[in-house]
Amino acid sequence: MAHATDKIPTPEHASRKTRDTARRLRPAALASAALGLALTLSGCAQVDTTAPSAVRAGAAHGAPAKFGTADCREAKCIALTFDAGPSENSARLLDILKQKKVPATFFLLGKNHIEKYPQLVKRMAAEGHEVASHTWDHKILTRISDAQIREELKRPNDAIERLTGHKPTLMRPPQGRTDTNVHKIAKELGLAEVLWSVTAKDYTTNDSALITKRVLDQASRDGIILLHDIYPGTVPAVPGIIDALKARGYVFVTVPQLLAPGTAEPGKVYRP
């Protein structure tokens, strides 16, 4: 599988913590882009994924959509997801989502994120967003021991449950890297894995217009959009992304809503 090696400058106007996080995640983010391309082609064909439409089709005949007002069997649904928060930008993002009446799915990091912004985690859940895991410390799960994998997955689950009262059922593996061993441990912990179909590569630019264009160019029904609210160009792009996709007839849903009336099965990997 090919790996991207571009060097991304850290924005000077970002805070020190954001710059530190960006530096730590840049290689992971670049590899995420490479993996997204490889999955689209054939580089990671060994990872079996299940499409949202297949989950819906496998639900009991006549079952009602369980989440919200949208029925993605009929509606043109798309899911907005954010990785690696919460961050200093998340409060503004939540304001935008509330104003636009758009639910999102947040794949949160534990270290320096959940533990630093617990009130934002509570707010995400209280405002109807899906709160999920992006591991504790962004370790690559395919490169660490079983005990470390369990710790990376269990710690954010426990922290999120303490804050929201609900244990996550979804996780996104760092860099999208996963294998049968990760699937097995995720299943033990009651977690399904969620990849993506749209990446704005928002770690490569502060240009909100470019981020918006990249999302709109790739958007399609049942799409799962990957963004990172830790980068300064991303949150300003969100209103335009929402407005443009609504104008195209899309309905925004969380990942569980996208699968309803089916549900994610622990140990499986989901991707449009």
- Catalytic machinery residues: 83, 228
Residue recorded with tokens 């992006």: 134
Distance CA 117, CA 129 (A): 16
For residue 124, give both structure tokens. Answer: 């995400």
**Nearest Cα to Cα of residue 128 among 80, 83, 88:** 80
Q: What is the dihedral of CA 53, 57, 59, 62, to 10 degrees?
A: 120
Cα angle value 136/116/208 (rounded, 5°): 85
Q: How many helices (H) and strands (E) does the chain have?
A: 9, 9
The CA distance from 227 to 243, in Å, is 16
User: By three-state DSSP, how is residue 112 classified?
Assistant: helix
Chain centroid to Cα 6, Å, comes to 23
Residue type, 220: S
- Residue type at 195? L
Residues 6+ apart with CB under 8 A from 109: 84, 85, 134, 135, 136, 137, 138, 156
Compute the radius of gyration of the chain from its Cα atoms: 17
